[in-house]
Structure 1
Amino acid sequence: MEITQQLSSLPRERQEDEPDQQKEEGEQKEGEEEKKEEESTVVEDDVPDISTLSEQIDEFLSVLDRFKDAKEEKAARPQVPETAVEQFVTAVENEIAKYESDGEELPLLDAINRVSRLHLELSGFSQDANYYNVTNKSGCVLHHAMCFLEDEFFSLLDAGSSGRPHEASPKESNSCEASPAYPKETVEKLRDIAAAMISAGYGTECCEVFIAARSKEVEAAVSSVGYEKGSIDDVVKMPWESLEGAIATWIKSFRHFVSVILPAEHDLCNQVFSVDPDISTTLFHTVAGGVLLHLLVLPEAVAMTKRSAEKLFKVLDIYDALRDATPTIDSLLPDQADDFSLADELTSVRSRLGDAAISIFCDLEGSVKSDAAKTPVPGGAVHPLTRYVMNYIKYACEYKNTLDLVFHDHHTPFSVQLMELMDLLDSNLEAKSKLYKDPALSNIFLMNNGRYIAQKIKGSSEINMLLGETWYRKRSSNLRQYHKNYQRETWAKVLACFKDEGLTAAKGGVQKPVVKERLKSFNSLFEEIHRTQSAWVVSDEQLQSELRVSVSAVVVPAYRSFLGRFAQCLTPGRQTEKYVKFGAEDLESYIDELFDGKVPAPVARRRT
């Protein structure tokens, strides 16, 4: 009975014991999980911080340096601290991720530079299986870091210059001074990133970002002064009025580019890429040279436009701007070891502009030579051609130094070219003077034009210097000859009325009829001269006065003398009034009305 009871009670006992067993198993499981958590916590707590890991990596790199420097050829390679390397590159990757997510300032460059050096050193042992994993891991993290720095480099370049105009650059230096384009702090960051990327073998990517960002910025800086980039076809097709304004804007922009932007960009390249001067020079050539070539499009196109006289001065303005810029460009952008030369391109454009200037000036000579207008200028006044040519020459001679250079390049002194033009103008005026039927008026025309030319030359030290004193004296002599010719052609017949010949009889008496005839001839001649020559034009007041004074000086004394000797031959009263129409003072008054360019009133009897 007891055995039966014991057997029958056995399952119940097991059932009663089962909850305790499950409880024990549960407690055991929980213990194992807690143990794992504790072990995990211990592992995490045991991971050194990035500063400690950096020290361990530095120590390992020092060991590698000593290994490479070891004289023993069979020195054992140092053991790679795989755990430390793994933990370090992972920590750096995590720090980059944090920066990318929240943009907090973190001291990443030192760590990235350490990864770069670590990877470089490990790559030397990449064939060793012991180094493969850590080399691969460090390479992946390094690539991630370089992509991160590339983005950061672009962001700094793109945002740092916003709103900062290009001003006069500071004294050139490789130190990280404030740049006209960026604050000092930004330049320092750019320099450090560039150095890190170049050291890691990512110089190409760094340079490409710099070129793209700075080319855009420099072009914008030039545009901000007003210059709009266009093609050669665009410029050639412009109407002259529009092109004239575009040239003025180009000159302003180009001078700003050379004097301000170019030195500033040169300094920026030196500062950012101080780690490698060769890279700095190449980048500056690429950025600045590219913009310079765009700026040379307009001068090249202007040299190709149709020649016309009014374009000469703008062509010379561009030539001057290029000439003035050449020393700076040669200094900052010297030729590099490639086939293309910015200096040669600049010289070529200048040469084409010089050719255009010479062509325009020679076209002016051709215009003067071929101007064969058949209508004389009314009143013998200064011809429009004379005014145009002399004003053109006066303006051109303000560019004397530039024209000297341009013509010197073509082995023809500008002074010789100018004299040739003046000779052509003289020949043209001589031909035009023959259009007048009255020889006296021909000489008035030549005097007017000659005096105008002389006054223009006298008023310009540049023309005087080019033509010389000998040339000026010859022209002054010509003017005196024109004056004498006029006196002879106009007043010789008048003065002939006062000659003694034929006035006295054989016995010493006076031939009264001859006296009367002489006075009638004088009155008629003088009235005709007054009527005609009062309408002639002498606009130069000094020349006008000289002519009147010279006429009075020969006519009035001769007339006064004639009357003094022969007036008593006339019967007082009607006869005197009939033959003596003018007193000496009357003649002077009428002579002072000559060359006014006005239609005169009929000569009235003025007795004194």
Structure 2
Amino acid sequence: METKQSPLPKKSNSFSSSSREEKLRESDRNLSLGAIKFGDRHEKKETDGSKEDSIEEEVEKEDKEQERVEEKATEEEETSNENVEESDPSFIAISDEIDHFLGVLASLQDVQDQGYELPKLPEPIIEKFIDVLEKEIATYESGGQKWSPDHDEISLLDAFNRVHKLASALTPFSSEPRYNHAMNRAGVVLHDAMAFLEDEFFSLLDENSRGKQQDPGSTSSKTKRPPSFSRPQQQQQHEHVDRCILPSAESSTINEEYPQTYPTDIVERLRSIAAVMISAGYVTECCEVFSVARRNAIFASLSSLGCEKISIDDVQRMAWDSLEGEIATWIKAFRHSITVSFPSERELFDTVFSGHKDIADSLFNSLALGAISQLLNFAEAVAMTNRSAEKLFKMLDIYETLRDSTPTIDAIFSVDGNEEESLASPVMDLKSEISALRCRLGEAAVAIFGDLESSIKTDTGKTPVPGGAVHPLTRYVMNYLKYACEYKNTLEQVFKDHQRTERPSSYDGDDEPPGSTRNNDNQSDGGIADDPKPFAAQLMVVMELLHSNLDAKSRLYKDQALCNIFLMNNGRYIMKKIKGAAEIHELLGDAWCRKRSSELRQYHKNYQRETWSKVLACFKDEGLNVRGNVSKPVLKERFKSFNAMIDEIHKTQSSWVVSDEQLQSEMRVSISAVVVPAYRSFLGRFSQYLDPGRQTEKYIKFGADDLENYIDELFDGNPSSMARRRM
């Protein structure tokens, strides 16, 4: 929080015009008192009318004496004023004298002939100028008052600039003793002035920083800081460990807006101080203080975002559930830093070091590169973890984060062709590091997707799924592909990059991503322009592998009808997932979907043929008529066979599973549409040939409606339904 500074009281100065005015006012008071005293005495003598004439003569004499006193006082006042003006010139006048002398020296340095005579050194003026600065610095250094440009009577920054110019101008003439002495005096006060400014610079940065968190290695409340250039052994105490601490529950909320780094007036003061220090040649000290303060602030910002510096070994040992949370936090911190924090810091650096672009660029690049490097170390560690199918999506999240941040990073770290190699090289190294990391993450994603193919091939279990239900492999693969296809643009780019590394000579093109938004059409480019999209082709391979695997698993069922139920269940589940995910449907295409739908219809026909063709055979007229009459024994056998088959089908297939309600309903309706009308017709034609009573009850166990109810109980996955019905 910014501390509001109270207005500083004006300080008395022996070289100011205010002292002269006070002396004049004091002289006026003395004269006034003298006049009052004389008036009292004169009044008393006039009231004493009984005194002799000698007293009147004495009064006249005193009047003349008083006139002489007044004249003398007037002369003394004028003389005093002249002496004040001569002995106490204002600081502005002293500064003007210094500037005039500097101009003379500058003109001498421009003269090519070295035979000139040095001008007389204004030693009194220089001494007074330096004395004033020393007193001002001592006043603020003592802690009695706090310096503020708003209440700066003598403009310290201008004075510090002037003393720097004075020391520099005297240096070429240091062989002359008087000049050498003045140069040394100016150099000493310049050193003290820069130490004062460095301390003030640090205080402004430290006390006015908003949203900062106390670093474990930093001092708590610091109002004074030894200048780094006077005590180099103390520089290390301002170096902190680059580590962020996970936030507490109260601070876990991420603020998407980066707070204003410093108030506008503080930024202006920082800019003014930096300009003076740089002009005086104290660039290193100024930059060091600023870098340390802003580095602490940027890492405090990362800490507030929940970012923790984790070693590669820690990442390798971390459980995946925990690492997933760390990755999500890292992504938020990285995006916030790139899009919010660093642009704000860039603006601050450019403002404070306006007019010194090389310094601003160097300092900012050093700060940002350090922070980004720490963030990249975590992503690098994740890319090095053991590969497994569940890691694909977080790998792609990191890949997209790095890809989408590339334009912003290019804008933040813009390097002109004229930049020095020392400045451009680290930036190029960073961009190369990000590109290489993206490549490693992409290769990891390709390998993980390849592992999915391997997992399908190696799933060769010999135990069939009970009831012909959807196989767990089908659920896993389709759900996995559904989520994977949400990254289809990214995966297309990843597989294209993989093809480039596999066939580098056949590809020439831009390695930039097609875009940062998922599910936009990618434009093929380079040498693979006419090839199918690599990820789409890979998806086809996975689907064919799954189809072959399920076909093999269906042969584990001895009952061909159940084999077809299994294929229907899994095929229907696959098609339902494809219809519910536009990305997969788009990648597989309409032709593939039509082919699979046709296969599903064939599975349905195969099931009906295997199960219900024998039932329908009971209703045929063939064999029932013997010599023009219905054979009762054959008819009774037909009813017995039908009843037995219905009981067996109900007993068996009521335990079979058709989990998709629509498919279950379609199958029941299709069965009823074929079997029930045929049975009803058979009953109508032949039930009359059975004797009423016990014979009819024995052989006709089901009415048409009963049969339809039995069919509606199929595929419930409930083997006890028949037993309950008989009870």
Residue of structure 2 in register with 1:91 after alignment:
132
Counterpart position of 2:399: 319
Matching residue within 532, 550, 574 for 2:652: 532
What is the aligned partner in structure 1 of residue 542 from structure 2?
A: 421
Distance (whole Å) between structure 2 residues aligned to residue 605 and residue 570 of structure 1: 24
CA RMSD of aligned residues (A): 2.4
Query: Partner of 1:463 in structure 2?
Result: 584
The equivalences for 1:364-383 within 5 A come to: 364-383=452-471
- Residue number in structure 1 paired with 2:159: 111
1:567 to 680, 683, 687: 687
Equivalent positions of 1:132-147 (< 5 A) are: 132-147=180-195
Deviations 1:459-510 (A, max 9, x none): 11121122221111111111111111111111111122222333333x5443
After superposition, the Cα gap between the structure-2 partners of 1:103 and 1:291, relative to the gap in structure 1 and judged at 3 Å, is: farther
Is this contact kept in 2: 1:381–1:538, CA < 8 A? yes
Deviation at 1:262, TM superposition (A): 0.8
Shift of 1:288: 1.3
Asked if the contact 1:444–1:486 (Cα under 8 Å) also holds between the matched residues in 2, the reply is yes
Gaps of 5+ in 2: 1-82, 214-254, 416-422, 500-532
Residue in 1 that maps onto 2:676: 556
Is 1:579 the counterpart of 2:699? The answer is yes
Q: How far off its partner does 1:95 sit?
A: 1.6
What pairs up with 1:489-500 in 2 under 5 angstroms? Answer: 489-500=610-621
Does the CA contact (< 8 Å) of 1:457 and 1:464 recur in 2?
Answer: yes
Match for 1:474 among 595, 598, 605?
595
3-state SS in 2 of match to 1:432:
helix
**CA positional deviation for 1:164:** 6.5
Please point out which of 425, 431, 434 is paired with 1:338.
425
Q: Distance in 2 between matches of 1:432 and 1:349?
A: 41
| 1:377-431, Cα deviation, whole Å (9 max, x unpaired) | 1111111121122122222222223222222322362222222222221111111
Paired residue for 1:357? 445
1:524-550: CA deviation from partner (whole Å, max 9, x where unpaired) = 111101110011111111000011011
Count residues in correspondence: 555
Counterpart residue number, 2:122: 81
Instruction: Call closer, same or farther: CA 1:322–1:416 in 2, change over 3 Å.
Output: same
Larger mean CA deviation between 193-202 and 563-572 belongs to: 563-572
Give the CA deviation at 1:373: 1.7
Q: Return the alpha-carbon distance in structure 1 between the equivalents of residues 471 and 543 of structure 2.
A: 15
Report whether the alignment pairs 1:211 with 2:291: yes
Matched, 1:242 2:322: yes
CA distance in 2, matches of 1:78, 1:387: 97
- Between the aligned residues of both structures, percent identity stands at 61
Could you tell me the TM-score, scaled by structure 1's length? Answer: 0.86
Tell me what 2:667 maps to: 547
1:49 to partner: Cα distance? 4.3
Matched, 1:251 2:338: no
Deviation at 1:51, TM superposition (A): 2.5
SS at match of 2:461: coil
Unaligned ranges ≥5, structure 1: 1-41, 170-178
Alpha-carbon distance between aligned partners in 2 of 1:576 and 1:163, rounded to the nearest angstrom? 93
Shift of 1:199: 0.7
Q: Give the Cα separation in 1 of the matches to 2:378 and 2:726.
A: 72
**1:40-55 → structure 2 map (5 Å cutoff):** 46=87, 48-55=89-96
Deviations 1:291-323 (A, max 9, x none): 111111211111111112222222222222222
2:179 is matched by which residue type in structure 1? Y
Check if 1:447 corresponds to 2:564.
no
Contact 2:204 2:270 (C-alpha < 8 Å) held by counterparts: yes
Q: Is structure 2 residue 473 aligned with structure 1 residue 385? A: yes
Deviations 1:40-87 (A, max 9, x none): xx9998364432221111111222333344577755544432332233
Q: Find the partner of 1:522 among 637, 642, 667.
A: 642
Which has the higher mean CA deviation after the structures are superposed, 159-168 or 95-104?
Answer: 159-168
- 2:256–2:336: 8 Å Cα contact kept in structure 1? no
Cα displacement (A) at 1:370: 0.7
Measure the CA separation in 2 of the matches of 1:116 and 1:231.
48
Which residue number corresponds to residue 63 of structure 1? 104
Give the Cα separation in 2 of the matches to 1:314 and 1:54: 67
Contact persistence 1:536–1:596 (CA under 8 A): yes
* Compared CA separation, residues 418 and 127, structure 1 to 2 (3 A): farther
Judge conservation of contact 1:232–1:298 (CA < 8 Å) in 2.
yes
Q: Which moved more, 1:215-224 or 1:335-344?
A: 335-344
Whether the 8 Å CA contact 1:334–1:343 is kept in 2: the answer is no
Sort the Cα spacing of 1:232 and 1:103 in 2 relative to 1 into closer, same or farther, 3 A: farther
Letter in 2 for 1:229: K
- Read off the aligned partner of 1:513 and give its amino acid letter: P
Whole-Å Cα distance in 2 between the matches of residues 257 and 548 of structure 1?
60
Seen in structure 2, the aligned counterparts of structure 1 residues 551 and 167 have a Cα distance that, compared at 3 Å, is closer
Contact 1:494–1:522, Cα closer than 8 Å, also in 2: yes
Give the 3 Å change call, closer, same or farther, for CA 278–231 of structure 1 in structure 2.
same
- Give the counterpart of 2:409 among 320, 326, 329: 329
Give secondary structure in 2 for the equivalent of 1:186: helix
* Segment drifting more, 355-364 vs 542-551: 355-364
Q: Are residues 77 and 477 of structure 1, via their aligned partners in 2, closer, same or farther at CA, if it must alter by over 3 Å?
A: farther
Deviations 1:548-576 (A, max 9, x none): 01111111122222233333333333333
Change beyond 3 A, Cα 1:590–1:465: same
What is the rounded CA distance, in whole Å, between the counterparts of 2:413 and 2:291 in structure 1? 16
Instruction: Tell me which moved more, 359-368 or 210-219.
Output: 359-368
Q: 2:650–2:722: 8 Å Cα contact kept in structure 1?
A: no
Rounded to whole Å, the distance in 2 between the matches of 1:499 and 1:410 is: 64
Shift of 1:104: 3.2
Question: Quick one: distance in 1 between partners of 2:176 and 2:441?
Answer: 67
Paired position in structure 1 for 2:308: 228
In structure 1, C-alpha distance between the alignment counterparts of 2:193 and 2:340, rounded to whole Å: 36
Q: Is the 8 A contact 1:168 1:264 kept in 2?
A: no
Q: Deviations over 1:317-356 (max 9, x none)?
A: 2222222222111110235422552211222222222222
Q: Partner of 2:315: helix, strand, or coil?
A: helix
CA distance in 2 between partners of 1:480 and 1:419 (Å): 21
Q: SS where residue 427 of structure 1 aligns? A: helix
- Specify the code of the residue in structure 1 equivalent to 2:136: E
Distance 1:90 1:565, change over 3 A: same
Per-residue deviation, residues 167-193 of structure 1 (Å, max 9, x unmatched): 746xxxxxxxxx811111111111011
Greater Cα shift, 150-159 or 126-135: 126-135
Residues 56 and 168 (structure 1), Cα distance of their counterparts in 2 relative to 1, 3 Å cut: farther
How far is the alpha carbon of 1:154 from its aligned partner?
Answer: 1.3
Return 508-517 or 471-480, whichever deviates more: 508-517
Counterpart residue number, 1:13: none
- DSSP-derived class of the 1:572 partner: coil
- Output the amino acid matched with 2:158: D
AA of the residue aligned to 1:291:
A
Give the superposition deviation at 1:286: 0.7
Which residue identity does 1:317 align to in structure 2? Answer: D
- d(CA) in 2 for partners of 1:472, 1:523: 40
